[in-house]
């Protein structure tokens, strides 16, 4: 399967194109389940969506990942970031989230996976690309059947996530939607911007599919990549 790669001039035009795809999905299915990444890349997309006259009140925002042991009031909470960037500006009322304080993280992950199944799976996954090829926090090596689980973050992820929380430590472990959940999404949208993602995007799209680059598994189904010139050329 060849990924559909759309190259846009700038991160802003990436955001417009991505917002078009999300808007089309939610107009066709107002109660769509959307797997929603945080991270820097999709922020312009969510801001663009918020400028549009859309009724997102019936969609279900499904959290892609969160740090373990971080409460909602902590500025590093990825749930908090999801709320500020997507849920509140878009008037979303349904959220399927992780419980980062669960005494039994494994059980919390099983409950999350079961709730996703009950939703009927994911209609659209909005994904960013980790600098080491991770999706959510599916760190290399992760194969296509890696389940929703708690993980120890790699050095590469600790480094890249440090830029989000200047002056604060990055939590060392996290909960992530499994590769199985992500890859079963009916539409997979990967957003990639910036020259620092050029090499990993090339590996995702052009090198053999491998657990060492978890995002490469996206090529085994239908995939739309929207990238800016800096990342794609």
Q: Which stretch binds ligand GLP (CB under 6 A): 83-91, 96-104, 113-121, 129-137?
A: 129-137
Please identify, using beta-carbon distances, which residue of 136 and 178 lies nearer to ligand GLP: 136
Provide the phi-psi class of 18: left if phi over 0, else alpha when psi is between -120 and 50, else beta: alpha
Q: Does 133 bind ligand GLP (CB under 6 A)?
A: no
Please, which residues have CB within 8 angstroms of residue 24's CB and are 6 or more apart in sequence? none
Interface characters, 146-185, with ligand GLP (x: CB under 6 A):
-----------x--xx------------------------
Q: Minimal CB distance to ligand GLP: which residue? A: 128
Residues in the chain, how many?
233
Report how many residues bind ligand GLP under the rule CB under 6 A: 14
For residue 141, say if its preceding peptide bond is cis, omega within 30 degrees of 0.
yes
Among 37, 125, 182, 183, binds ligand GLP (CB under 6 A): 37
Q: Provide the H-helix boundaries in the chain.
A: 11-28, 43-51, 78-82, 88-90, 105-119, 155-162, 179-183, 198-206, 229-232
Among 35, 59, 61, 64, binds ligand GLP (CB under 6 A): 64
Residues 124 and 35: their CA atoms lie apart, in Å, by 6
Is 16 an annotated catalytic residue?
A: no
Contact assessment for residue 151 and residue 176, using Cβ atoms and an 8 Å cutoff? yes
Shortest separation between residue 231's beta carbon and ligand GLP, angstroms: 10
Q: Does 98 bind ligand GLP (CB under 6 A)?
A: no
Residues 92 and 30: their CA atoms lie apart, in Å, by 11
Is 169 an annotated catalytic residue?
A: no
Q: Does 100 bind ligand GLP (CB under 6 A)?
A: no
Is 134 an annotated catalytic residue?
A: yes
Query: Where along the sequence are the contacts to ligand GLP (CB under 6 A)?
Result: 37, 39-41, 64-65, 128-130, 136-137, 157, 160-161
Which residue numbers are catalytic? Answer: 65, 132, 134, 139
């Amino acid at each position: 399967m060849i990924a559909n790669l759309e190259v846009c001039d700038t991160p802003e035009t990436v955001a417009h194109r991505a917002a078009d795809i999300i808007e089309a999905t939610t107009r066709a299915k107002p109660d769509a389940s959307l797997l929603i990444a945080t991270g820097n890349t999709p922020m312009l997309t969510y801001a663009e969506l918020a400028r549009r006259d859309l009724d997102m009140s019936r969609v279900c925002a499904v959290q892609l990942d969160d740090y373990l042991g971080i409460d909602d009031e902590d500025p590093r909470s990825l749930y908090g970031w999801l709320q500020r960037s997507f849920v509140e500006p878009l008037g979303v009322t349904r959220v399927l989230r992780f419980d980062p304080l669960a005494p039994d993280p494994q059980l919390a992950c099983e409950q999350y996976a079961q709730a996703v199944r009950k939703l009927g799976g994911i209609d659209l996954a909005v994904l960013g690309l980790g600098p080491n090829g991770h999706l959510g926090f599916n760190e290399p090596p992760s194969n296509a059947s890696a389940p929703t689980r708690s993980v120890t973050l790699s050095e590469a992820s600790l480094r890249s996530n440090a830029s989000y929380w200047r002056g604060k430590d990055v939590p060392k472990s996290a909960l992530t939607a499994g590769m199985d959940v992500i890859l079963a999404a009916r539409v997979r949208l990967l957003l990639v911007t910036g020259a620092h993602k050029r090499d990993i995007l090339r590996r995702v799209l052009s090198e053999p599919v491998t657990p060492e680059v978890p995002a490469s598994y996206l090529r085994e189904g239908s995939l739309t990549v929207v990238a800016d010139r800096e990342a794609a050329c």
